[in-house]
Amino acid sequence: MRRSLFSMMALAGGMVSAFAFAPPKPLEGHFEALQRAKSLNVEYTVTMVGGAPRTVSLSLQKPNLLRMESGDQVVFADGTTIVTYDKAANQFSKMDQTTDSLLGLFEDTDMRFWRPFFDAKAFDGMTDVAKGSNVERAGRRLTTVTGKMGITSSTMYLDSRDALLRQAEISQQMGGTTTRSVVNATKVEVNGEVASDLFAFKAPAGATEVTFVAKWHYDFESAKKLAKQTGRVLMVDFMADWCGPCKMLDAQVFSTPEFKKAAGEMVWVKVNIDNFPALASQYKATSIPLVVFMNGDGQVLHQSLGFKPVGEFLKEIAAAKSKG
């Protein structure tokens, strides 16, 4: 997919910038409530149609503190370091906390609903936003708002009392397949009490630190630094929220065991070209998805343009390894 970098750069300057990241009007209440909040505690379930529910417990505090627990994973952001703890393995890994790495924790669609707490640009790129009818659910009067971001369509149900999301229906269409999920918030608390040590990680007895874990990073410079320090190949996924083939690459390639095995020794980082147009321009990411393999000095070794099935993408990984 192609989009003019010049048009994206134009948003960064002049009078346009004052309005470039204003939320869609039907979502103003939800957006402004999260922007004003000093703390947020949310508990919700995400259920893919036909699957089992996944429970998420999320606590946020300004300016940059986070604790998120889901399944066997707990993530802590204390303002300087992000720690990911695997309860099943009793292992944890650390990475430097930056604005980009913090916002990267909100990439999943269900997490993105809460991203305005930290990010004034959270809803940039959302299209076809429209207010619908009011419905009554569980004694609450909810306002329906629909919207799209790339291949993801969402129906959001906002509480009429505080304008915050209580439920959502999410559908993603990739090729001829549509997946549907339902989000149901059982607790939404703004400016409630937060324990002083909630965001500080304390290693449980017997826990071991893993110095390298194959996972997605969202800060290019930090990822490049890690690749250089460890002598690993850096795999950069240039993408955007509106890019359907990018979402297909995530779902059909990056999530597979075959990819994780083949690229497990590499450092992975995602670069949203809308947020980093200069970096996209530097590596000529005018068409996406573009996956660039480079060394820790930023020297390009190999690249893969467009969506490719997992079997073909494994050949791209092999080619990059042969040059690294």
pLDDT, the chain, mean: 89
Whether the link from the prior residue into 289 is cis, omega within 30° of 0, is: yes
Residue 293: inside a domain, yes or no?
Answer: yes
Is residue 192 pLDDT above 80, yes or no? Answer: yes
| Segment 112-125, tens digit of pLDDT | 999 999 999 999 88
| Segment 41-53, tens digit of pLDDT | 999 999 988 889 9
Please tell me whether residues 15 and 119 are part of one structural domain.
Answer: yes
pTM of the model as a whole = 0.76
Helix (H) or strand (E) holding 102: helix 99-103
Residues in the chain: 324
Residue 198: inside a domain, yes or no?
Answer: no
Please tell me whether residues 243 and 133 are part of one structural domain.
Answer: no
Please tell me whether residues 138 and 275 are part of one structural domain.
Answer: no
Is the separation of the CB atoms in 60 and 194 below 8 Å? no
Residue 211 gets which letter from DSSP?
Answer: S
Please tell me whether residues 179 and 120 are part of one structural domain.
Answer: yes
> Structural domain of residue 68, as residue ranges?
5-190
Is the separation of the CB atoms in 285 and 238 below 8 Å? yes
What distance in Å separates the CA atoms of residue 58 and residue 35, rounded to the nearest whole number? 16
Question: Of the candidates 244, 231, 253, which has an alpha carbon nearest to the alpha carbon of residue 315?
Answer: 253
Last residue of a domain, one of 137, 159, 190: 190
Quote the radius of gyration of the chain (alpha carbons, Å): 20
Give the least confident one: 32-41, 72-81, 205-214, 286-295: 205-214
Residue 298: inside a domain, yes or no?
Answer: yes
Question: Of the candidates 257, 108, 260, which has an alpha carbon nearest to the alpha carbon of residue 172?
Answer: 108
Please tell me whether residues 220 and 300 are part of one structural domain.
Answer: yes
**What is Dmax (Cα atoms) for the chain?**
61
Residue 205: inside a domain, yes or no?
Answer: no
pLDDT band at 3 (very low <50, low <70, confident <90, very high): very low
